[in-house]
Amino acid sequence: MVKEKWYLRSADDVIDYFRSHGEEGLTTQEVRSRLSRHGYNEMAAAQRASRWQIFISQFQDFMVLVLLAATLISAFLGEYADSFTILVIVIVNAALGYFQEYRAEESIETLKKMVAPIALVIRNGMVQQVPARSLVPGDILVLEAGQKIAADARLIECQFLEADEAVLTGESLSVRKNCYPIAAENSSLGDQNNMTFSGTTVTRGRGKGVVCATGMDTEVGQIADLMSAIGHEETPLEKRLEQLGKKLVWSCLIICLLVVITGVMKGESLFLMCMAGISLAVAAIPEGLPAIVTVALALGVQRMIRRNAIIRKLPAVETLGCITAICSDKTGTLTQNVMTVREIYINGTSYETTGLGYEIQGEFLCNKQKVSLQAESILDRCLRVGVYCNNSVLKKNTVSIGGSWRKRTTEFSIEGDPTEGALIIAGAKAGIWRNDLEKQAKRICEIPFEPERRRMSVLYEESPQEWTLYTKGAVDTILDLCRYQESATGPALFSDDDKQSILAANAQLTDKALRVLALAYRKISALPVVQSETENLECDLVFVGLMGMIDPPREAAKQSIMVCRQAGIKTIMITGDHPNTAVAIAQELSMYQAGKSRVLTGAELDALNDREFKKIVNDVVVYARVSPSHKLRIVRALKQRGHIVAMTGDGVNDAPAIKEADIGIAMGKTGTDVAKEASAMILTDDDFATIVAAVEEGRGIYDNIRKFIRYLLACNMGEVLTMFAAALLGVPLPLLPVQILWVNLVTDGLPAMALGVDGHDRNIMFRPPRFPGESVFSRGLSHKIMARGFQIGFSTLGVFAYVYFIKDDLVLARTMAFTTLVFCQLFHVFDCRSEVASIMDVGFFTNKYLIGAVSCSVLMQLAVLYIPVLRNVFATVPLLPTDWALVLIVSGWTFLLTILKKILWRRTASRSVFSRT
C-alpha cells in the first residue's frame, strides 16, 4: 500500500477510501480478504543467519586462523599444555563473538513485542476484542484510556483524547488529539494531532479511528526498515588489531625463515634449526594479543557495570575512548522526563520551588528566602486549586499514596497527565493532599478539558448550600473569565492593569520555556437546575495565580557536559520538542550560547541537501522538532565529517540512529526494549554522567591496550633479534626451542594481562579524543618498542657471548642468556605502565596484580633453574650469586637508572627550594 498523508484528509474521506463504515466497521469476510492482501499486523523478521553459521563465522578472522596454526605447531613440538591453552583462547573468543553477534540481531524481534496483543475494533456492527495481529487497513479502532495503540489510525471521533507519544516523538507531554484535517502538508509526527500511532499509549479520553497502516507500513515499521538497512561496521580497535596482526605475523614468519636459513648456512643441523625456527615463530607471533585484548575489555565491562553502565558489545568499551560527539535525546536523558513546577506568580510576586521530579520534599522561596504558607495565604490557595482541579494520582509501586508513611520516601510515580502530576507534587511539597481535602469537600462534577475550551473545572461541595468551582487552563482563556483577583484581604476587583501585569508575567515565564497554567476559583451559593448548564458557572472567577512548569535537566548533566567539553567532546541535543523549550534546557546545561551556537529544526533540516547540511553540521548544538529519519541523517553527517559518534536515547524513535552510531547508548530505566537491543551500551541509572564515566573507562582501556602492545612486541622483538643476530654471527644458538617456548609462557601471559587492569592516568579526561585514524603505534610508541627490543636482544646475546667465550661453558651460557631474557622482560613491564611518567611517579606497588604476576613469573623461572626434574627438561644449571649479579645488572640497568634519576631530581629540587627560601 502506497504511504499517504492521511492527516491532510477529512475523516469521511479516509473512511470512504478504505471502503469502511464508522458505525458498522468491516465485515468478517472483508477482514479475511484484506489479511490475504496486506498480511498480519506484525513486524517482518529480517533474514538471519543460523546459530551454526554465526558460530562458524567466528573462526574466519585472520588472527584466529593464526592461533589455530599455532595450536598445531605447539602440538607438533610436544607442548601439549601450550597447545591446549591456545585452543581454549580460540574457543573463548569464538563463544564471546557468537553471543554478542546473536544478541545484536534481536532488535527486529523486540519490535514485534511493541504491537499490542489485543485491540478493540468495530466489526459487523459490534465492538469486539481481536488479536492485534489481525488488524487490517479500514478497521475501526476503538480507543480507551490505558490502551496501547495497535496500528496507525486516522481519528474519526474524539472525546478528550490524549496520547503519550514519547517513544516516537520524544515529547514528555501527552498530545491532545482531534479529528480535524491538518493544513500543513509536511507536518511532523508530533504535529499530526488527528493521527494515532502503533506502539503509543492512550492516556486520557476516548475515541475511534480508521486503521490506515499495519505491520511494516506503520511508523514503527518504518523504523524497523531503517534499522534493518544498517549494516555492521567494525570498531576502530578491531580495524587496528586486524592490520597489526597481519603485519606482525608475516614479519615474524619472514624473520624466522631467515634465522633457519642463516643457521643452516653456518653449519647448524637442519632439524635443530627448523625446530628453533618453529619455536621462535610461536614465541614471536603475539598469539596472546587478541586474548589479552578480550580479557582487558571484559574486565573493563565489569568495572563499567559497577559504574552503572552495561556493555553489550566488548569493542564498545574502546570505542568510547575516541568519541568526539555525543548526540543526546533531551527528554529522559538530559532531562528527568517528569514535569516539575518551577515558578509560581501571585499578585505581583514570584515564588520559586525546589525539589526535582517526583520528589515531595521541597521548599517555596521568594527572593531566595524560604516562605511560610501560613504567612502566604494566596500561595496556599493557589496550590489547593491545583490539587483540587486534578485527576492525577500520586503512587508508589502502583499503590496510591496516603497515610503517615507518605513522607518517608521519594520514589513516587504519577498515574495520569504529567502536567496535572506536577501540580499534585507541588501541593505535596506544601503538605496538601487531595485525599485529605476531600474529607471536608465532596466532588460533585467535572467540566472536562477540551481543546476548544482550553480549560478544566471541578465543582466541590464544601458545606451544605456552599460550593466552590476550581478552574485551571490557558492564561488568556482564564483571564477572560475572571472578574476578581485574590488578595491578602480576599477577592478584589480585577482591573485592566492587573490583567496586563499578569500577561507580562506570563510572557516572562514562557520566555524561560515554561508551560504556564492559570488557576482560579469561584464561590457558588446556588447550583443550576439543569446539570448541562454547569459550564455557565465558569464566569466571574477569582484569579489566584500562574504556575510555570518544565521537564527539568538532570542535576549531574551540566557538570557532565562541562567534562565533555574539556575532554574535547561535542555534546548535541536532538529532540522532538519545540525549539524554545529545547534552547532553554540547552542554555541551562551550558550547551547553547546565544549568538554563537546554532539551532536547527526538522523543517529547516529538510530544506537542506546533504552537501549543505554537511557544511554546517559542526555548528549545530540543538536539533528541535525532528523525526527518526532526521536523527539518522544527523548521525551520518557527523560521521562523514570525521566524528566518532555516540547516540543516546530511550524511545523507538532513537533506535535507528543508535544502531547507526559508532556506539549507541540506551537508557535502562525509561528506555524501550527496541532502543536497548539496538544499543552497544545501556545506562542502568539513565544518568548522563554515567556516559562521562564510560568515556573515561574507554580511554583508560585503550591506554592499557597500548601498554601491553608495547610490552609484548618489545619482548618478542628482543627474542627474535637474539636468535637472528646469533645466526648471523655464527655462534651456537643462545636458546633452545623449549627455552623459547618457556620464555613465551612466563613473560607473555600474566604480566601482560596485569597491564590490562592497570589504573588510568589522572589527566585522562583533560586530553582531546585521539584521532580516529591514528595508528596504534602513534605518539612515539614504535620508537619505544624498537629501542627496548634492541636493548633486550643485545643484552641477552651479550651475556651469552661473554659466558660462552670466557668460561667456555655452553650450558651455563644458555642458562644465563635464558634467565637474562626473562628478567629483561620482567623489568620492562614496569616501564610500560605509563608512556609519560616514570615508575616512581606511577607508584611501584599501585598495581597489585602486576606485582603478583611478576612474582609468579620469577618463581616459575627459579623452578626451571633449581628443580632437578625441570633442569633436565630445560637443559639448565643452577646459577651462583656472581652469575645472578651479572644477570640482574644487565637486565635491569635501565630500570635502576630511571629510579636513580628520579631520586637525584628530587634532591636537586629540594635543594633549589631550600636555596630560594
| Exposure on the CB side of residue 878, measured as CA atoms within 13 A | 6
Range name among 18-32, 108-122, 533-547, 624-638 with the lowest pLDDT average? 108-122
Q: Which of 512, 530, 550 is the last residue of a domain?
A: 550
Same domain for 505 and 448: yes
Q: What is the DSSP string of 844-877?
A: TTS-HHHHHHHHHHHHHHHHHHH-HHHHHHHT--
Can you give the pLDDT at residue 95?
Answer: 65
User: Average pLDDT, stretch 682-705?
Assistant: 84
Nearest to 822 by CA among 742, 750, 755: 742
CATH number at residue 570: 3.40.50.1000
Q: Are residues 345 and 316 in the same domain?
A: no
Q: Given this model, what pLDDT does residue 531 score?
A: 57
Do residues 251 and 782 lie in contact, with contact meaning Cβ atoms separated by under 8 Å?
no
In a domain, 1, yes or no: no
CA distance 392 to 811: 88
> 274-283, 472-481, 692-701, 854-863: which has the minimum mean pLDDT?
274-283
* Chosen domain end from 515, 550, 585: 550
Helix (H) or strand (E) holding 237: helix 236-265
Tell whether 85 and 26 lie within a shared domain: no
pLDDT, tens only, 735-751: 877 787 788 778 877 78
Cell triple for 802: 661473554
Provide the 3-class DSSP secondary structure of residue 403.
Answer: coil
Categorize the per-residue pLDDT at 140 as very low, low, confident or very high, splitting at 50, 70 and 90: very high
At 650, give phi and psi (nearest 5°). -135, -15
Domain that holds residue 474: 340-550
Q: Nearest 5°: phi and psi at 393?
A: -125, 130
Q: What is the pLDDT of residues 242-262, one digit of tens each?
A: 666 667 777 777 777 777 787
Tell whether 560 and 471 lie within a shared domain.
Answer: no
- Residue 672 confidence class, pLDDT cut points 50, 70, 90: low
3-class secondary-structure state, position 65: helix
Kindly state whether residue 825 falls inside one of the protein's structural domains.
yes
Q: What is the mean pLDDT of residues 481-501?
A: 91
Residue 31 has pLDDT above 90, yes or no: yes
Q: Give the pLDDT confidence score for residue 406 in this predicted structure.
A: 43
Mean pLDDT of 820-827: 94
Residue 795 has pLDDT above 70, yes or no: yes
Which pLDDT tens digit goes with each residue over 558-608? 888 999 999 999 999 988 778 888 888 898 888 888 878 899 998 999 999
Q: Tell me the three cell numbers of residue 720.
A: 627474535
d(CA 758, CA 776): 18
pTM score: 0.64
State how far the Cα of 605 lies from the Cα of 613, in Å rounded to an integer: 7
Average pLDDT (462-469) is: 88
The number of beta carbons lying within 10 Å of the beta carbon of residue 641 is: 14
Contacts of 812 (CB under 8 A, 6+ apart): 803, 877, 883
Q: How large a percentage of the chain has pLDDT more than 70?
A: 79
DSSP-derived 3-state class of residue 400 = strand
Residue 409 pLDDT grade (very low, low, confident, very high; cuts 50, 70, 90): very low
CA 91/CA 886 separation, integer angstroms: 43
Arithmetic mean of pLDDT, 759-785: 80
Report residue 324's pLDDT band, with 50, 70 and 90 as the boundaries. Answer: very high
Decide if 698 is inside a domain: no
For the record, the C-alpha cell of 756 comes out as 590490562
d(CA 773, CA 713): 21
Co-location of 809 and 860 in the same domain: yes
Closest CA to 653 of 615, 681, 625, 680: 625
DSSP result, 722-779: HHHHHHHHTPPPSS-HHHHHHHHHHHHSHHHHHHTTPPPPTTGGGSPPPPTT--TTTT
| Separation of alpha carbons 349 and 487, rounded Å | 12
Question: Could you report the per-residue pLDDT of 146-202, keeping only the tens digit for each?
Answer: 678 889 999 999 888 888 887 777 676 788 899 999 988 888 888 899 999 988 888
- Whole-Å CA distances, 838 to 428, 760, 786, 853: 58, 14, 19, 20
Query: What is the grid cell recorded at 534?
Result: 454547569
- Reference 651, options 333, 392, 280, 423; nearest CA is 333
Across residues 334-358, what is the average pLDDT?
87
CATH of the domain at 184: 2.70.150.10
Distances (CA, A) of 254 to 259, 281, 546, 758: 9, 9, 81, 34
β pairing state of 413-415 and 442-447:
unpaired
Q: Is residue 904 part of a domain?
A: yes
Give the residue-averaged pLDDT of 902-906. 60
User: Is pLDDT of 230 > 70?
Assistant: no
Contact 557, 688 (CB under 8 A): yes
Q: What local confidence, expressed as pLDDT, does residue 398 receive?
A: 47
Structural domains of the chain, count: 5
- Domain assignment of residue 172, yes or no: yes
Position 758 pLDDT exceeds 50: yes
pLDDT confidence tier of residue 312, bands split at 50, 70 and 90: confident
In percent, the amount of the chain with pLDDT more than 90 equals 31
781/844 same-domain check: yes
Instruction: Report angle CA 236, 242, 244 to the nearest 5 degrees.
Output: 100
Q: Which residue has the higher pLDDT, 98 or 508?
A: 508
- Residue 911's pLDDT is what? 46
Is 701 contained in some domain? no
Higher pLDDT, 278 or 310: 310
Helix (H/G/I), strand (E/B), else coil: 19: coil
Q: Are residues 27 and 161 in the same domain?
A: yes
Same domain? 219 vs 328 = no
Q: Which of these three, 550, 565, 595, is where a domain ends?
A: 550
Residue with the bigger pLDDT between 706 and 460: it is 460
- Residue 711 domain flag: yes
What pLDDT does residue 4 have? Answer: 81
- Per-residue pLDDT, averaged over 903-909, amounts to 57
Average pLDDT over residues 346-354: 91
pLDDT tens digits along 66-109 = 557 766 766 775 656 556 655 654 565 566 556 544 543 443 34
Give residue 773's pLDDT band: very low, low, confident or very high (50, 70, 90). Answer: low
Residue numbers annotated as active site: 329
Q: How far is CA 452 from CA 55, 140, 161, 456, 477, in A?
A: 61, 25, 13, 11, 10
Q: What is the pLDDT of residue 18?
A: 93
Examine the pLDDT at 917 and tell me if it is beyond 70: no
- Report the chain's mean pLDDT, rounded to a whole number: 81
Shared domain check, 839 and 732: yes
Identify whether residues 567 and 656 lie together within a single domain.
yes
CA distances from 219 to 189, 195, 497 (A): 9, 11, 49
- Give the number of other CB atoms < 10 A from CB of residue 257: 12
More confident of the two residues 779 and 470: 470
The confidence score (pLDDT) of residue 822 equals 94
Q: How confident is the model at residue 511 (pLDDT cuts 50, 70, 90)?
A: confident
pLDDT band at residue 912, thresholds of 50, 70 and 90? Answer: very low
For residues 883 and 870, membership in a common domain is answered with: yes
Residues 568 and 658 in one domain: yes
- Give me the pLDDT at residue 699, please: 87
The answer as to whether 519 is a domain residue is yes
